[in-house]
Amino acid sequence: MRKADIVVDTKGMACPMPIVKAKKALDGLASGQVMEVLSTDKGSVNDFQAWVKQTKNELLEHAEENGVYKFYVKKV
């Protein structure tokens, strides 16, 4: 389990809300900090991979546990 500087819980939210909330949270982080995002939206797996690539941040890891997707994003 990674240590995140901030946890963004978007469980129960549909696209594009997890990305919207994650973007807002990431904007408040300093370079090098890590954000953990929790989502139950199956589509968020592709969304996050595309969004991270587009924003040039780093997707350190993503996992799925009991229907909850966890994304660890490091701000560059």
pLDDT band of residue 71 (cuts 50, 70, 90) is: very high
pTM recorded for the entire structure: 0.93
* Catalytic residue flag (residue 15): yes
Question: Could you give all domains of the chain from N- to C-terminal order, each with its CATH number?
Answer: 6-74 (3.30.110.40)
Give the per-residue pLDDT at 26: 96
Considering 5, 6, 13, 15, which one is annotated as catalytic? 15
Residue 74 has pLDDT above 90, yes or no: yes
Q: Give tens-digit pLDDT for 9-53.
A: 999 999 899 999 999 999 999 999 999 999 999 999 999 999 999
Q: Is 40 exposed, middle or buried (0-12, 13-18, 19+ CB in 10 A)?
A: middle
Burial class (CB in 10 A: 0-12, 13-18, 19+), 63: exposed
CB-CB contact of 18 with 49 (8 Å): no
